[in-house]
Amino acid sequence: MDEPTTTLSEEHAEDTFERHLESGDSAGMCLLLEMLPTDETIRLLGQLNAEDQGSVLALLDPELAAEIVEAMPETQATAAMEEMEPGAAAGIFAELPDDTETELLRGMDDEESAAIMRHIPGEDAQLLRERVACSPDSAGALMSEQFIAFPAALTVGDVRKSLEAEAEDLSEWAVQYIYVTDEAKRLIGVLRLRDLLLSRRQRVISEIMLPNPLTVPMTATFEQLEAFFRDHHFFGVPVVDGESRLIGILAREAVDWASERRAKNTFLKFSGIVGGEELRNLPLGVRCLRRLSWLVPNILLNMMAASVIAVYEDTLDAVIALAIFLPMVSDMSGCSGNQAVAVSIRELTLGVLRTKDYLRVVLKEGALGIINGTVLGLILGTIATLWKGNIVLGAVIGGALALNTVFSVLLGGLVPLFLKRLRVDPALASAPLLTTCTDMCGFFLVLGLASRVLHHLV
């Protein structure tokens, strides 16, 4: 959206926004949202439920609505579009970038997406179905269909004339190259704009093109795309189907965007937010169920950890100082384990670690765990000794932390591999399993070691 030309107070903007929504004033709503900065528009929409968001979008010009939808959080945009009349939603879809269309349709219920598809022209709808059918974050899902291609038999003059005729439409496209195809629309070359401008008009473009360009298949995975752009410093790459026909262009920024989204989703899963992005305008019941589906199993896991303390209740009663250090040992070990989890998940994502590489993880994490565990154990053991004036207590606490750190980094490195092998999302399940196991082991080490030297502690 363009920058606002008139400044409105926050209260006035909210009042005007609500008034236009209640009255269904399409012209007034368009004028207001054109005046507001994008972040203010998103804030106002974020205070509404999905049905009212859909009503606002329906009041707007499709081009303006598409700009707002593109700026909205994906979960919010999907829910709002589902609440709209299919024909109105299809009008907005026509103005959206290809990758945004794909992601929104993929997030919708099958019935809602099918209803919208019925209002999209046949060829465009078929392309959309193919893109939605692709794996998320694959080349087919992330590519754009905005590219310029010409048959190899055309002359430079023919190409220039065609480009001049369509200059107004093409001016908004991020065009870096012109692609050259054969009679079957197979990609055979790339034409640089410089060569097009400096060549004689009578020359055939097949004579000045760069042959055999690099491409990626429509089915290329996200990991393969990341590897491609690490090895090649391109702004984009052509995407081809199984018969080498040019079907789209994949921009580097689309892969970067997908990487950011995957990182965000991983963070949400680590935080216990399941089922996708959560915003506070979602129905209360949906939000409760999403969170409880992660929290309820954690009650059982925490009960297992607490049972270790119950076994050593007498030791804890005799040396109450142990209660001070129990959470320190479990928390520090948990932090070390989560670092190992993060590295394993990232390496699995990049494809540099396989689910059967257990020995490699044990060797790498074991060496690191011994060093870090020793350092952390000496620090905490020294603190315990100086604080409580008992070197045996310091040895118990320091030794427990050192051993538990080694255990936690080994477990943290291996759990994602084990879960991946079982086809369970490591980002979602690793954290609660690691926390429970490191807590149990930490409690057992501290209380078990203390019970062995109890006469030196009381």
pLDDT (tens digit per residue) in 187-243:
999 998 888 888 999 999 999 999 989 999 988 988 889 889 989 888 889 999 888
The answer to whether the CB of 138 falls within 8 A of the CB of 221 is yes
Share of the chain above pLDDT 90, in %: 21
pLDDT band at 294 (very low <50, low <70, confident <90, very high): low
pLDDT of residue 376 exceeding 90, the answer is: yes
Element (H, E) at 151: strand 149-151
CATH 1.25.60.10 residue window(s) in the chain: 10-133
Residues of the chain with CATH 1.10.357.20: 284-457
Q: Which CATH superfamily is domain 284-457 in?
A: SLC41 divalent cation transporters, integral membrane domain (1.10.357.20)
Does the domain formed by 149-250 have CATH 1.10.10.10? no
Q: Taking a C-beta distance cutoff of 8 angstroms, is the pair 177, 190 a contact?
A: yes
The closest alpha carbon to 75, from 42, 98, 36, belongs to 42
**CATH class of the domain whose range is 10-133:** mainly alpha
Cβ 445 vs Cβ 311: under 8 Å: no
pLDDT digits (tens, 9 = 90+) for 298-349: 777 778 777 877 888 788 777 888 888 888 998 898 889 888 988 888 788 7
Q: Tokens 């179905």, residue?
A: 129
CA–CA dist 406, 398 (Å, integer): 13
DSSP assignment of 218-274: TT--HHHHHHHHHH---SEEEEE-TT-BEEEEEEHHHHHHHHHHHHHHHHHHHTT--
Residue 272: what pLDDT?
A: 55
More confident residue, 111 or 301: 111
CB distance 374 to 322 below 8 Å: no
Instruction: Give the least confident one: 52-56, 372-376, 391-395.
Output: 52-56
**Mean per-residue pLDDT over the chain, rounded:** 84
Residue 328 CA: distances (Å) to CA of 151, 284, 312, 442: 69, 36, 18, 9
Intervals of CATH 3.10.580.10 along the chain: 149-250
3-state secondary structure of 177: strand
**Contacting residues for 426 by C-beta, under 8 A, at least 6 apart:** 341, 344, 345, 348, 415, 416, 419, 420
Task: Please give the average per-residue pLDDT across 22-42, as a whole number.
Answer: 85
* Model pLDDT, residue 402: 95
For residue 5, what pLDDT is reported? 44
> In this predicted model, what pLDDT tens digit does every residue of 127-160 receive, in sequence order?
788 778 887 788 888 888 888 899 999 999 998 9
- Are the beta carbons of 61 and 95 closer than 8 angstroms? no
Per-residue pLDDT at 420: 85
Sheet holding 236-240, edge to edge: 216-217, 236-240, 246-251
